[in-house]
Amino acid sequence: MAAKLGGVFLTCALGPVNYAGACIQGSKMPLGIQELAADGLWGGVQRGIQQTAKLAGVNPRDVEGLLPMAEIRASLQRVGACQQAALHAWSINAGADVIEKLRLYVAYWDYSLAEENSAGDDDLGSEIDLIATYKYSNNVSIEAGASRFMPDDATATSPDDAADWAYLQITANF
């Protein structure tokens, strides 16, 4: 039972980290970084406490009593203080309605570290996003997107490290 309770806690507590990783791999760097903010990480810990308490049939405060809550809070405060200075990002973007039902959007992002790493590099890379949204009807839209993240000196291990991501999404409103 202890292993199951620990697994439930870790799954919930690490949820924001897993989601952030998926966003970053999917060339959605700003969303991934945002998910790693102290509030998002604290939310994962809180979900872990709630779900573990529910499974064990105890009060969430009982679960908190078993965890090093002071250390967790202190770590999250350090994350919050450091995150603002850790990454610089800027973007240029534009969108236009090409025809009545078709909207195109393009964005360019550039990412850099706030300080150079040990190798003297601070350029993380850049990203290009292209999105087309077609409004099929008042209740249905179709969106297609493609992104490319091109790592730079601080992240690339070889010139072919670019990451591509594409998706097709259908949204239906009921």
**Domain end point (choices 71, 86, 101):** 86
CA–CA dist 94, 104 (Å, integer) = 8
> Which one of 25, 58, 86 terminates a domain?
86
Q: Which of 173, 155, 151, 174 is nearest to 164 (CA)?
A: 151
Domain edge (last residue) among 86, 110, 141: 86
**Residues 7 and 54 reside in one and the same domain:** yes
Looking at the fold, whether 79 and 10 belong to one and the same domain comes out as yes
Per-residue model confidence as pLDDT tens digits over 43-98: 889 998 999 999 889 999 998 898 888 888 888 888 776 665 566 778 898 999 99
E-assigned strand segments in the chain = 87-99, 102-113, 123-135, 140-151, 163-172
Lowest-confidence pick of 9-13, 84-88, 154-158: 84-88
Query: How many structural domains is the chain composed of?
Result: 2
pLDDT, position 33: 75
Structure token pair of residue 125: 């890379």
Residues 6+ apart with CB under 8 A from 102: 132, 133, 134, 135
Average pLDDT in the chain: 85
| 18 and 25 Cβ atoms separated by less than 8 Å | no
Between 156 and 67, residue with greater pLDDT: 67
54, 10: one domain: yes
Asked if residue 106 and residue 47 are part of one domain, the reply reads no
Range of the domain at 136: 88-172
104: phi then psi, degrees, rounded to nearest 5: -115, 145
